[in-house]
Structure 1
């Protein structure tokens, strides 16, 4: 009976706290005893639970107050990212985003959208049509099917700034997914033993591809608005790096988006240093509240190597992407791809081209983006209501993920394990850092199955994170 009374007081005060401003004084223990007809011990137990969840704080001799969690800024050690450099290779096992999970689990760890969000009818029909063409029985050119090369080039050319010579069909190389493209770029443009600037945090697959290519990672701290251009310039000057890998739009995992000014400044910096910007536009089709606007659209002198994939918006079974590069850099990437895999399946290329050139494709993208927006907002609202102890770093205007910071000092791996035991799968943030993690982060994908279970997921995360800080 005592436990029931405690739970009733906790539930009532949680509702009161949700509507109260940070710093508001909580009703006294005596007032709560009268309101709930509870003993002093029961009220004290309820207050300890609320304090353990990070919702209230006690000030001896004064009272108990709503904790100002939303206005307390966590310690920021991001400046150490560049100063300390990269650690030894840590990506030795399968990424947490790729692990198989119980079918009944709430899966927020994956990096792919739910099947129901993808254009299944278009893909199936395209595969059947492609099987009836010569592409199903002949070798594809090493650079890709010319029509698909032309489509990727025209997409980028449509964004070209005034006075900038747009990309051409020949500039585009078809690769079997962005992971394949990154591996070739790092091997052929950077090279083993040479330094590569890379945002921290960033896509774990880029870290893995770089490590396997034998390049030396030079991490540059980044945040919701991207890296500090001055820091990029200092890192290029100090290391002599010939390339900087970045995700200027809807970054994985942070959801960050560079401003136009940052993009302009970084492009000018790599030009001054005779270097390359490797622009990973992985989420081009996943824009919700902001246009993608690739930096490559402002480059016509070969300083930007641009990468765009269809895997997340068409189907994970159609691993088709394009690298757009100019001059000798293009030839090096092409030679590496030809040596690695000779060419991409013409059948898959033809099917991908069929999907993106159908009139229904634009309608699919509109609906897809709207559903992503709704899911994002549902997960955000669920976290605010049921897990106020965690902090969403930024509200992404595109992409698939929320980058969530747990309270300082939290054992992230322990939280991930406990959540898994309770039926919630999330991804620990450490694998997205080429150097030590700058804080206790987890990544949550809002595009997976069962968005109706987001409130349940938030309750589990809030309870586990709260218990971990006690």
Structure 2
């Protein structure tokens, strides 16, 4: 018996199906066994392959037929236009930093560190221990596990100078990531239609959260040393805003760290106008040549709403952050969080607490500082050697990103697409401006995978820049 393989039979049947009409009945299995001189098992494998490809369908007790190609009638969702009406505020699209990349791409666009920069061993062990403990089955308090509240409070307490009352654990609200915290803070403390002063450029997620909350963003220019306190005072005076969102340490996207004394100056302005500073300390664990000192450490009267995230430094799978707020502001934020999600997974809280209280956590942070420095310096050298058109205003002292100014007239959309076709993923700077961009910028993340490819990636960007300018 000439025992044809199932793949050969499937190929021949595919040719037969192409000439048959939809609904045509295939010969019986017995007939196919005889025709192809194959075993019933081999024929059945061929039929299973064609079924999996959607070419045929079996009708029990009747036979096997060529599957008819059904053209689905397009769904009509037009009724939703009238039901939903116009949105209160148009939401910006998801940032290009969230798009996926193939394994062989040189990825500068993402905002998350590569897994080799994470405390993987600590995380895996912590998740196992948390799954075996009570946190796997119990509901935590709405404000968070008391032990984790204490840890967040102690972290800020360590920077608090003598004479300033440090925060208490009860001032802390544990969040499922800082993004949800921003949404709650903007909704609870500003509210729809109210003004919110925001550094420009700034974190695109904060811009998104502001749009979702319906607040009116007031952009405030900010450079390598931070915003001008006089500009902030003018913005408060002219708009009546009482909320200012900022990243004093290693800002996303610029990497800027406020100059010495700038935090105290900004805090004086905030106090003068009876306002709040929302301090986003997302990069607290990513210092390279400096150690971040939160502005919140200088405040004990409730003017600073302090946000600290563990998502990027521990693991993106453990979305845990903490907000420290005092007085009625805390109660409003907690009420908003309760309406949004009731409480944060106790399992994730327990795992995060386990990681950051292990002796290996501090060892990891010391190693991380050196790894980030070598990556940053390699990318800076690569940019300066291969992208002469780009201007790097300052080398960041921490964080994860370089912020490059490109020549006026650069077509960022074309540049991004050209780089992607050449295997390099970059992020156009337009995502980080709450209003019109102040120029052509790109953000390059030096914490992504495969740092050995940084020089090649910069070379490709430089080539695409030349094409863009020609």
Sort the TM-score into its range (normalised by shorter chain).
Answer: 0.7 to 0.9
* CA distance in 1: counterparts of 2:465 and 2:408, whole angstroms: 11
| Matching of residue 273 in structure 1 with residue 251 in structure 2 | no
Residue in 2 aligned with 1:254? 254
Give yes or no for contact 1:91–1:431 (8 Å, CA) kept in 2.
Answer: no
Give yes or no for contact 2:89–2:212 (8 Å, CA) kept in 1.
Answer: no
Give yes or no for contact 1:424–1:460 (8 Å, CA) kept in 2.
Answer: yes
* CA distance in 2: counterparts of 1:211 and 1:443, whole angstroms: 22
Give yes or no for contact 2:401–2:443 (8 Å, CA) kept in 1.
Answer: yes
Deviation, 1:94, is 2.2
Deviation, 1:90, is 6.7
Q: How does 1:56-135 map to 2 (within 5 A)?
A: 91-135=91-135
TM-score by length of 1: 0.80
Residue in 2 aligned with 1:370? 370
1:111-168: CA deviation from partner (whole Å, max 9, x where unpaired):
0000011011100000010111111101010000000000000000110022000011
Deviation, 1:194, is 0.6
Residue in 2 aligned with 1:263? 263
Structure 1 or 2, whichever has the larger Rg, is 2
Residue in 2 aligned with 1:387? 387
Residue in 1 aligned with 2:167? 167
5+ unaligned residues in a row in structure 2: which ranges? 1-87
Instruction: Call closer, same or farther: CA 1:371–1:280 in 2, change over 3 Å.
Output: same
* CA distance in 2: counterparts of 1:89 and 1:224, whole angstroms: 31
Instruction: Call closer, same or farther: CA 1:91–1:418 in 2, change over 3 Å.
Output: farther
* CA distance in 2: counterparts of 1:315 and 1:197, whole angstroms: 30
Deviation, 1:369, is 1.3
Deviation, 1:89, is 6.2
Residue in 2 aligned with 1:57? none
Q: Secondary structure at the match of 1:284?
A: coil
Give yes or no for contact 1:254–1:393 (8 Å, CA) kept in 2.
Answer: no
Deviation, 1:415, is 0.6
Q: How many residues align?
A: 383
Give yes or no for contact 2:122–2:355 (8 Å, CA) kept in 1.
Answer: yes
* CA distance in 1: counterparts of 2:466 and 2:256, whole angstroms: 27
Q: Secondary structure at the match of 2:126?
A: helix
* CA distance in 2: counterparts of 1:91 and 1:445, whole angstroms: 25
* CA distance in 1: counterparts of 2:183 and 2:212, whole angstroms: 8
Deviation, 1:99, is 0.4
1:276-310: CA deviation from partner (whole Å, max 9, x where unpaired):
00000000000111111000000000000000000
Give yes or no for contact 2:135–2:347 (8 Å, CA) kept in 1.
Answer: yes
Residue in 1 aligned with 2:421? 421
Q: What do you get for the CA RMSD once the two structures are aligned?
A: 1.0
Residue in 1 aligned with 2:349? 349
Residue in 1 aligned with 2:327? 327
Q: How does 1:391-402 map to 2 (within 5 A)?
A: 391-402=391-402
* CA distance in 2: counterparts of 1:410 and 1:339, whole angstroms: 45
Q: How does 1:180-219 map to 2 (within 5 A)?
A: 180-219=180-219
Residue in 2 aligned with 1:339? 339
| Matching of residue 469 in structure 1 with residue 469 in structure 2 | yes
1:189-238: CA deviation from partner (whole Å, max 9, x where unpaired):
11111100000100000000001001000000111111111000000011
TM-score by length of 2: 0.80
* CA distance in 2: counterparts of 1:400 and 1:334, whole angstroms: 30
Deviation, 1:91, is 4.9
Give yes or no for contact 1:178–1:321 (8 Å, CA) kept in 2.
Answer: yes
1:160-199: CA deviation from partner (whole Å, max 9, x where unpaired):
0220000110011000000010000000011111100000
Give yes or no for contact 2:92–2:211 (8 Å, CA) kept in 1.
Answer: no
Q: Secondary structure at the match of 2:285?
A: helix
Deviation, 1:463, is 1.0
* CA distance in 2: counterparts of 1:100 and 1:281, whole angstroms: 26
Deviation, 1:260, is 2.6
Residue in 2 aligned with 1:409? 409
Give yes or no for contact 1:200–1:432 (8 Å, CA) kept in 2.
Answer: yes
Residue in 1 aligned with 2:13? none
| Matching of residue 308 in structure 1 with residue 308 in structure 2 | yes
Give yes or no for contact 1:175–1:181 (8 Å, CA) kept in 2.
Answer: yes
Residue in 2 aligned with 1:62? none
- Greater shift in the superposed pair: 382-391 or 203-212: 382-391
Give yes or no for contact 2:144–2:343 (8 Å, CA) kept in 1.
Answer: yes
* CA distance in 2: counterparts of 1:265 and 1:287, whole angstroms: 23
| Matching of residue 222 in structure 1 with residue 222 in structure 2 | yes
Q: Secondary structure at the match of 1:355?
A: helix
Give yes or no for contact 2:91–2:212 (8 Å, CA) kept in 1.
Answer: no
Give yes or no for contact 1:288–1:373 (8 Å, CA) kept in 2.
Answer: yes
1:289-334: CA deviation from partner (whole Å, max 9, x where unpaired):
1111000000000000000000111000000000000000000000
